[in-house]
């Protein structure tokens, strides 16, 4: 692949990747700094999008328009929606959907954007297979899961909200950007993958878990993405 876009919502999620880059050029647009350069032998653009679906969607569109990326990888952290998915484990997206879109009044299922042909945005199978192989190599002490990622403009930190999202989406984890990146990638016909390391259990313990485990979770995603670049 000629150009890979790598998006993290927070600076903590991309700073370690930027440190591994060489021959870098920075392009600023829409308040975001797009760092273009060589990452482990692969031409890449690494960017902090900012938190939330709007930021993530804008960021993906800029990667498509300005850099003509051939694939988008979204790396970051998420809350687990399954008991067997523990803090530090990784979820690779089979697809993504927005848990906070509600147009049921017009006959759409919960989560589907009106007048869009799909409820969920399918992630790229080849990227996911590579990510699974690589993760088992570089992060041997954690579990790797493949499943749906549910996104919404909400930090989920109570059991009631968590249970509602599970019931409505059957997702493996929840966060705030992946489905917007999935939607933009779908509209631009660009392969994409969301990689999420679990930082909390998306319940009443989330505020306690999050600061403690954030850095551990990010380290796992950095290991994974760095090795993926060598294999693409």
Confidence class for position 210, pLDDT limits 50, 70, 90: low
Range of the domain at 68: 2-229
Domain total for the chain? 1
The CATH number linked to 148 is 3.40.50.1580
Q: Distance between CA atoms of 203 and 45, rounded to whole angstroms?
A: 34
Residues 61, 151, 93, 172: what is their CA dihedral angle, to the nearest 10 degrees? 180
Nearest-angstrom CA–CA distance, 64 and 52: 19
Quote the pLDDT of residue 182.
98
| pLDDT tens-digit map of 168-209 | 999 999 999 999 999 999 999 999 999 999 988 878 876 766
Helix (H, G, I), strand (E, B) or coil at 3: coil
- Is the separation of the CB atoms in 209 and 230 below 8 Å? no
Residue 1 has pLDDT above 70, yes or no: no
- pTM value > 0.75: yes
Closest CA to 47 of 38, 60, 39: 60
Over residues 73-90, mean pLDDT: 94
Catalytic residues: 13, 200
Residues 128/95, Cβ–Cβ less than 8 Å: no
List, in sequence order, the alpha helices (H) in 93-142: 125-138
Note the pLDDT tens digit of each residue in 14-48: 999 999 999 999 999 999 999 999 999 999 999 99
Q: What does the pLDDT average to over 93-104?
A: 97
């Amino acid at each position: 692949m000629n150009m890979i876009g790598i998006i993290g919502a927070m600076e903590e999620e991309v700073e370690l990747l930027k440190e591994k880059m060489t021959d870098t050029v920075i392009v600023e647009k829409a308040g975001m700094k797009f760092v273009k350069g060589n990452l482990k032998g692969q031409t890449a653009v690494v960017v902090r999008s900012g938190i939330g679906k709007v930021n993530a969607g804008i960021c993906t569109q800029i990667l498509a328009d300005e850099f003509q990326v051939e694939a988008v990888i979204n790396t970051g952290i998420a809350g687990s929606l399954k008991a067997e998915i523990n803090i530090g484990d990784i979820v690779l997206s089979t697809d993504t959907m927005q848990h906070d879109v509600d147009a049921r009044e017009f006959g759409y299922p919960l989560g589907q954007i009106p007048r869009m042909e799909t409820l969920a945005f399918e992630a790229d199978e080849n990227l996911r297979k590579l990510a699974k192989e690589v993760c088992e190599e570089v992060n041997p002490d954690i579990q790797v899961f493949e499943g749906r990622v549910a996104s919404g403009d909400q930090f989920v930190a109570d059991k009631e909200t968590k249970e509602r999202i599970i019931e409505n989406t059957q997702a493996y984890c929840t966060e705030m950007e992946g489905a917007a990146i999935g939607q933009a990638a779908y509209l631009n016909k660009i392969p994409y993958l969301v990689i999420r390391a679990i930082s909390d259990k998306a319940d009443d313990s989330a505020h306690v878990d999050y600061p403690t485990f954030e850095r551990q979770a990010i380290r796992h995603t950095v290991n994974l993405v760095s090795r993926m670049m060598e294999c693409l």
